[in-house]
Amino acid sequence: MRYPLSLVLHSARHFLVRKLRGDHKCPVLLSLEPLGGGCSQNGNPLSVEECLAALEECCAPVVAIGGREPLEYPEIAGLTRELLERGKHVFLCTNGARIRQRLHMIPPYTNFFWNVRLDGTEEAHDRRSAIRGSFVEAVGGIQAAKNAGFFVVVTSTIYPDTNVDDLARLYELLHSTHVDGYMLTPNYPSEKLCRDGSARFREKMHEQFREISGRLASYNLMTSPIYLEYLRGERELNCSAWGNPVYGPKGWSEPCSKQNVRYAKGYKELLDKAVWENYGRGLNLRCENCLGHEGYETAALLGVNPKAGDLWKLLAWQFSGNLGERRNGKW
């Protein structure tokens, strides 16, 4: 199994119920940023009650806790427990430095994942993070989490200059620690690019993902095959950022965390007032270099721009994965 069967069935039931209700903008995942998103949101930290109220508004089956390092959030243990007790599948996105200090906050659950950011082996990762020793801390946290019985996945950001050989060495190392899965996310350039620069950026990113798909296919890649086709430049998808809403101290990011045109006070306001047709490649200059999973993997999972055989492709991909040892309930 690529993902736990319970997550797949829970999400499928959620999508079916929402579709039967006529809801054409169905949330796949809620991104909670209790401390804000670094460059995108600031302000007083969210309370646990505010986070849970946001969840009630959009009712997504999966929650990612991210933004500024969430393990620095004083109420992270309480928030995580509340989400899990509500039956949500939780990915806690962290740089890994504080995992060992926080392992005691919950027992291993089958619907909880530590999601650790690693962008290469030690030299490459420390250079990207600009923090010497961050790689060693993260790998130590991963090993501690695995020894304690947790699910652990690793997310790597892919840049135009990412060394794929180095990424392959990273995966080989992580495989020896029994990491359960690997996610890939494309870099979104902060600088403005001219038309030619944009074209070169996208082509280089397509090349990177074509090589990565071939080199790393034997690992449990948790990036959907349809989204990977998009990343390789083999198909088009329409941005569906409404399926991955982001909530932080200033409210709901409109339309997404990368643009932050404004903030909506409520999830319904976000859906109703954002002019979604104005966002996406070919529609907005700021979207031209975005390949982000927030909009495009969401589109792949929801069947936007479908092709014949997509459902079978997703099912085959899900059942051909190897997430790790079997677990029964929470320990």
Domain ranges for the chain, please list them: 5-319
Identify the sign of the CA torsion 310, 315, 316, 322.
positive
Tokens of 83: 């989400």
pLDDT at 38: 56
Q: What span, in angstroms and rounded, lies between the C-alpha atoms of 247 and 267?
A: 9
In the beta sheet, which residues pair with residue 158? 186
Q: How far apart are CA 267 and CA 244, in angstroms?
A: 11
d(CA 130, CA 182): 22
SS3 annotation, 45-83: CCCHHHHHHHHHHHCCCEEEECCCCHHHCCCHHHHHHHH
Q: How far apart are CA 304 and CA 300, in angstroms?
A: 6
Structure confidence at residue 200 (pLDDT): 94
The whole model's pTM is what? Answer: 0.94
Q: Are strands 251-254 and 112-117 parallel, antiparallel or unpaired?
A: unpaired
**Inter-CA distances, 210 with 47, 146, 155, 229, Å:** 42, 30, 18, 9
| Number of other residues whose CB lies within 10 A of the CB of residue 122 | 18
How far, in Å, are 2, 27, 36, 51, 91 from residue 32 at the CA level?
24, 13, 9, 7, 10
CATH of 5-319 given 3.40.50.720, 3.40.50.10260, 3.40.50.360, 3.80.30.10: 3.80.30.10
Cα 254 off chain centre by: 18
Q: Angle formed by the axes of helices 134-147 and 122-129, to 10°?
A: 110
Is the Cα dihedral 89, 94, 96, 101 positive or negative? negative
From 139, 145, 54, 52, select the one nearest 105 (Cα to Cα). Answer: 145
Q: Which is nearest to 108 in space by CA: 148, 81, 138, 152? A: 148
**Cα–Cα distance measured from residue 26 to residue 208, given in angstroms and rounded to the nearest whole number:** 31
Q: What is the CB neighbour count within 10 angstroms for residue 34? A: 24
Q: How far apart are the first and last CA of the chain?
A: 21
Give the CA diameter of the chain.
54
**For residues 243 and 27, what is the distance between their CA atoms, to the nearest angstrom?**
4
Instruction: Identify the CA nearest to 59 among candidates 296, 260, 238, 268.
Output: 268
Strands 262-264, 251-254: pairing is antiparallel
Please report, in tens digits, the pLDDT of each residue of the chain (331 residues total): 899 999 999 999 998 898 888 888 889 999 999 999 854 456 799 999 999 999 999 999 999 999 999 999 999 999 999 999 999 999 999 999 999 999 999 999 999 999 999 999 999 999 999 999 999 999 999 999 999 999 999 999 999 999 999 999 999 999 999 999 999 999 998 888 888 999 999 999 999 999 999 999 999 999 999 999 999 999 999 999 999 999 999 999 999 988 877 899 999 999 999 999 899 888 888 899 999 999 999 999 988 999 999 999 999 999 998 886 444 444 3
Given a contact cutoff of 8 angstroms between Cβ atoms, the answer to whether 321 and 267 are in contact is no
What is the pairing mode between strands 251-254 and 246-248?
antiparallel
pLDDT at 195: 86
